[in-house]
């Protein structure tokens, strides 16, 4: 994802414009002067009516602010996010919906989110919770309230839909200001929002990561991931090394026991021999990269004493705690429990 960020900081981030078009539909229904509002946002009716045309993220943010004033609706982003069909998100949604588990779906959102909006980067953290951080790239976050609130609601709706649960966040943080959590926000989320925060993020329980996706379809997912990679363009052409691409895939595949050289090569569109040669040219082997990623991830997860060791084992590709313990001892010279205690505290629970 770093290569994507570098690319977009130097350019003008664009979006599919779906949120802007939803707002325009609202303005039309309310009988408002749509052309006038669009003009103030530096947009044209042709741009909005061409449903496949991307628009600048900054223009979308301006339009949402103007539409909120015109309607008027101070919670426009929140309301729009309740009214749209989730499938309208397009390819990104279906990649998520065909994933195996919620973590898998969120990693796909992290990787392919730029297809929908280049101005927002998702980051998934597992640190005693399952956190989704939304970072603005190349766009002024201070000018926005409605787009980020749309994304907040949309992400919660998607997570609930994919898992067929009433998944509720433990904590929600937003950078912008409001005098307090509006009652309808609290009713939908099940918690208050911390406004004027230092970050924009949703925090779910740690166990949420392992929730199965009800519509999981491994064959469809492989097909859609290929389309998503094409939509983002050739990663190597944007400067990503083969090693970094392998590392991305390893993180994605580890929780499901699929981080092997054959699967990684297949997803990169290479033969095993070509992958081996490419990594060798960068001074690495697949087994080295895999072990280093596993070690770094395991240490990071173990730093959080609230994350059960059984879940740490799953996240780095082991189904049995005993197998993970033996591997971790080989990597570091100590057991996961001792490593965690040496970091300053008692061990967390062993059960998921």
pLDDT in tens, 57-66: 999 999 999 9
Mean pLDDT of 236-265: 78
- Mean pLDDT lowest for which of 33-42, 56-65, 106-115? 106-115
The pLDDT of residue 235 is 40
Is 90 exceeded by the pLDDT of residue 297? no
Which burial class, exposed, middle or buried, applies to 51 when counting CB atoms under 10 A from its CB (0-12, 13-18, 19+)?
Answer: exposed
The pLDDT of residue 9 is 34
Closest CA to 258 of 305, 317, 186: 317
pTM of the predicted structure, to 2 decimals? 0.70
> What is the residue extent of each domain of the chain?
2-210, 241-352
Instruction: Report the mean per-residue pLDDT for the chain.
Output: 87
Q: How far is CA 166 from the centre of its chain?
A: 19
Domain 2-210, classified CATH 3.40.50, yes or no: no
Mean pLDDT of 67-82: 97
What is the percent of the chain where pLDDT is above 70?
92
Which of 85-94, 119-128, 149-158 is modeled with the greatest confidence? Answer: 149-158
The pLDDT of residue 233 is 66
The residue with greater pLDDT, 311 or 145, is 145
The pLDDT of residue 240 is 59
Domain 241-352, classified CATH 3.30.530.20, yes or no: no
* Torsion angle in degrees (nearest 10) through CA of 253, 257, 263, 264: 40
Examine domains 2-210 and 241-352 and report if their fold is the same.
no
How far is 54 from 47, CA to CA, in rounded Å? 8
The residue with greater pLDDT, 5 or 340, is 340
The residue with greater pLDDT, 77 or 244, is 77
Helix axes 272-281, 261-268, angle to 10 degrees: 90
How far is 273 from 280, CA to CA, in rounded Å? 10
The pLDDT of residue 156 is 98
What is the percent of the chain where pLDDT is above 90?
60
The pLDDT of residue 307 is 77
State pLDDT tens for residues 258-291.
Answer: 889 998 888 888 889 999 998 988 888 999 999 9
The pLDDT of residue 250 is 86
* Torsion angle in degrees (nearest 10) through CA of 89, 91, 97, 101: -110
Is 70 exceeded by the pLDDT of residue 79? yes
Is 60 exceeded by the pLDDT of residue 207? yes
Mean pLDDT of 104-109: 94
Is 70 exceeded by the pLDDT of residue 347? no
The pLDDT of residue 227 is 82
**pLDDT confidence bin for 244, thresholds 50/70/90:** confident
Which of 25-29, 87-91, 255-259 is modeled with the greatest confidence? Answer: 25-29
How far is 100 from 256, CA to CA, in rounded Å? 8
**pLDDT confidence bin for 11, thresholds 50/70/90:** low
Q: Position of tokens 């943080």?
A: 173
The pLDDT of residue 306 is 72
Which of 3-12, 157-166, 278-287 is modeled with the greatest confidence? Answer: 157-166
């Amino acid at each position: 994802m770093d290569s994507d960020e570098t690319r977009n900081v130097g350019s003008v981030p664009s979006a599919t414009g779906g949120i802007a078009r939803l707002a325009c539909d609202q303005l039309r229904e309310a009988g408002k002067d749509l052309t006038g509002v669009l003009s103030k946002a530096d947009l044209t009716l042709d741009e909005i009516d061409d449903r496949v045309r991307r628009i600048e993220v900054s223009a979308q943010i301006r339009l949402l602010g103007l539409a909120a004033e015109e309607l008027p609706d101070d919670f426009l982003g929140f309301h729009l996010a309740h009214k749209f069909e989730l499938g309208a998100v397009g390819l990104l949604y279906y990649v998520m919906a065909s994933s195996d588990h919620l973590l898998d779906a969120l990693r796909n959102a992290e990787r392919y989110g730029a297809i929908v909006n280049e101005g927002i980067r998702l980051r998934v953290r597992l640190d005693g919770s399952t956190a989704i951080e939304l970072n603005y790239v190349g766009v002024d976050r201070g000018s926005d309230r409605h787009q980020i609130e749309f994304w907040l609601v949309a992400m919660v709706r998607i997570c609930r839909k994919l898992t067929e649960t009433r998944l509720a966040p433990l904590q929600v943080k937003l950078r912008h200001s409001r005098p307090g959590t509006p009652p309808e926000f609290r009713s939908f989320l099940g918690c208050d929002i911390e406004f004027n925060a230092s970050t924009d993020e949703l925090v779910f329980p740690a166990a949420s990561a392992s929730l199965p996706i009800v519509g999981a379809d491994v064959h469809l997912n492989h097909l859609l991931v290929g389309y998503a990679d094409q939509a983002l363009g050739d990663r190597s052409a944007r400067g990503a090394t083969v090693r970094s691409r392998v590392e991305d895939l390893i993180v994605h595949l580890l929780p499901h026991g699929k981080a092997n050289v054959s699967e990684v090569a297949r997803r990169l569109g290479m033969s095993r021999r070509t992958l081996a040669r490419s990594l060798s040219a960068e001074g690495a082997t697949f087994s080295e990269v895999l072990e280093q990623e596993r070690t770094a991830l395991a240490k990071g997860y173990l730093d959080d004493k609230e994350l059960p060791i059984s879940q740490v084992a799953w996240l780095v590709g082991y189904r049995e705690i005993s197998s993970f313990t033996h591997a971790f001892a080989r990597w570091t010279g100590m057991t996961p429990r001792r490593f965690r205690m040496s970091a300053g505290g008692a061990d967390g629970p062993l059960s998921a």
